[in-house]
Amino acid sequence: MRKGSSDLLGNSAWNAAAFVVAVGLNLAVLPFALFRLGPGSFGVAGLVTASIAPALVFSSSLALSTARELARRLAPCDLEDAQRLFATAVALALSVGGAIAVFFCLAGAPLARLAFRLSGAVADDLGLAFVLAGCGWLCQCVSAVLLTLFTARQDYKRIASISIVSTVCATAAMLILIPSAPRASTFLGCQAFGFAVSLFVTFWWSRHALGEWLARPAFHRDALRRLVRPGGWQLVAQGGALFATQADRYLLGALLQPQFVGFYTVAQRLEEAMYIGILKIGETLFPFFSSLHQETEDRKVDLLLRSSWILNLLAASALGGLIPVAGPLLHLWTGAEVAAEAQQVLVVLSVAGILGSSANVFAFYLLAQGRSRDTALISLVTGMFTLATSAIALQIFGWQAAGWSACVGMIAQMAVTVFLLRRSSSLAGMGARVFHFVLMPLGVGIATALLLRYGLDSTNLDLAAAWWSVGAAALLSAGAILVVAVVASQLGPYRALCRRDLRAIVTRFGPFGAV
């Protein structure tokens, strides 16, 4: 198990490295794109992206189902069966994905004009914007299936390298093309170029590294059944998650002007960058949990809760570090106007992100165990609470209520997840374990972050004077949250387990850990 734990930590490190490069470039280019495009066109690009988002329900479900099945067929004796699965997955991506892309290319612009009441120059650009966004999504869909060959083998070094190359190409295209054609379609076209590069590199690398596992697109009935059976519930799960993440953006576009979608997108992009980074680190748990099918249920639940504690600790520190410096950070990054409008939304979204991180590990565990029905239930409940809260709050309180629904949805998500976990496990002291490993680090992290924000506001420090002051304050805040959460973990009955897991991480990534 020591080797498995070391490999898991190494995979998480590669995912984290890819995330750092991707988020660094994305956050660096966003103010440039916002300034060149203007809040209106930038908001339209956000609306087009949100309109394409339902297609991710299909591509994500297909990729997860394919990765899960391939992870169980890595032995040479399973080669033929794995080839049939891969061929069927690629055929689904090309046929169903192609039909979805054609729909968005043809019907996306007319439907968006009606739903978001768009007119004038921004509406004239919608046709090209949807064509480019649809083609980019199709490249992403096919590339995701090819990447499952590496995901199933937990080869996150190659996955991280592909992600970095794609992000660099998309960012370079934005810097070159947006100044000469400052339109929403240009921004989306550059993103599509990055997805196309990812598809090309993934295909080339898979042919050279795993050529014998590839197969031409074809439908095989037995493989199709294995992919669709868990994938059907996963479609429902992804649909609920979609409503949870896009509800505010849809309603802002329908009720208010596009620039408010732009302000919301800026705040969400910062929070999302941290959240996705944590998710990427935890993503390595999916094939890891899939490989534990011969372990006892108590052993799997024990690993689940301990992994959850580590990721919750990381989420509370990373996202919590944004909360005290939300205003100064947005001021330096995008200007005073955006900071004044979006800082409260960033705080609320960061709290929601901390709460939402609690369910990530559980989602990977449930999927690895084939419990897609449970993940669907969790996502549907989350989506319903999010959408209902958003519809009510935005109508009453206006745009500043954006983000409240995310908090309510994440609380509902956590409640349903804990309920399902306690119902399905007979591990002794389950309630105390959930409190110690899940609820306590999140609650301590949120409370500490809000107290630090209040303290910094009371001192009247001009943090927005320089980047180094904002960065230092954010790092100190994240460090303080981490220390408080670790100290809190030593107050419960599982303090020895927490110390042991922290020691393993320090040993792995400390100055002598790589030796």
pLDDT of 393 reads 82
- How big is the chain, counted in residues? 515
Phi, psi of 297 (to 5 degrees): -60, -40
Query: In this structure, which amino acid lies at residue 423?
Result: R
- Under 8 Å between Cβ of 28 and 209: no
- Under 8 Å between Cβ of 461 and 428: no
* Local confidence pLDDT in tens for the 515 residues of the chain: 444 444 555 566 666 677 778 778 887 888 898 888 887 788 888 889 888 988 888 888 888 888 888 888 888 888 888 899 999 999 999 999 999 999 999 999 999 888 887 777 777 889 999 999 999 999 999 999 999 998 888 777 888 889 889 999 999 999 999 999 999 999 999 999 999 999 999 999 999 888 888 889 999 888 888 887 655 555 666 665 666 666 677 777 766 677 777 778 788 877 877 777 776 666 555 445 555 555 666 666 777 777 778 888 888 998 999 999 988 888 888 888 778 878 888 899 899 888 887 777 777 677 666 676 777 778 778 878 887 888 788 878 777 777 888 888 888 888 888 787 777 666 667 778 888 888 888 899 999 999 999 888 888 777 766 788 888 899 999 999 999 998 998 887 888 888 887 877 777 655 444 43
- Under 8 Å between Cβ of 338 and 257: no
Burial category of 203 from C-beta neighbours within 10 Å (exposed 0-12, middle 13-18, buried 19 and up) = middle
The whole-angstrom separation of Cα 471 and Cα 477 is 10
> Which position has the token pair 């709290």?
351
- Under 8 Å between Cβ of 346 and 326: yes
Residues 6+ apart with CB under 8 A from 311: 278, 281, 282, 357, 360, 361
Burial category of 505 from C-beta neighbours within 10 Å (exposed 0-12, middle 13-18, buried 19 and up) = middle
Nearest partner of 107 among 87, 131, 125, judged by Cα: 131
At 402 the three-state DSSP class reads coil
Q: Which string of DSSP letters, residue by residue, matches 324-385?
A: TTHHHHHHHHH-HHHHHHHHHHHHHHHHHHHHHHTTHHHHHHHHHTT-HHHHHHHHHHHHHH
The whole-angstrom separation of Cα 343 and Cα 326 is 5
Nearest partner of 414 among 440, 385, 382, 388, judged by Cα: 382
- Under 8 Å between Cβ of 262 and 46: yes
The whole-angstrom separation of Cα 162 and Cα 203 is 10
The whole-angstrom separation of Cα 462 and Cα 469 is 9
Residues 6+ apart with CB under 8 A from 353: 271, 272, 274, 275, 315, 319, 410
CA 413 to chain CA mean position, Å: 16
Residue-wise pLDDT for 320-345, tens only, equals 999 999 888 888 888 887 788 788 88
Query: In this structure, which amino acid lies at residue 151?
Result: T
For residue 58, count other CB atoms closer than 10 A to its CB: 22
- Under 8 Å between Cβ of 239 and 383: yes
> Which position has the token pair 């996963």?
234
DSSP 435: I
State the pTM of this model. 0.68
The whole-angstrom separation of Cα 104 and Cα 134 is 6
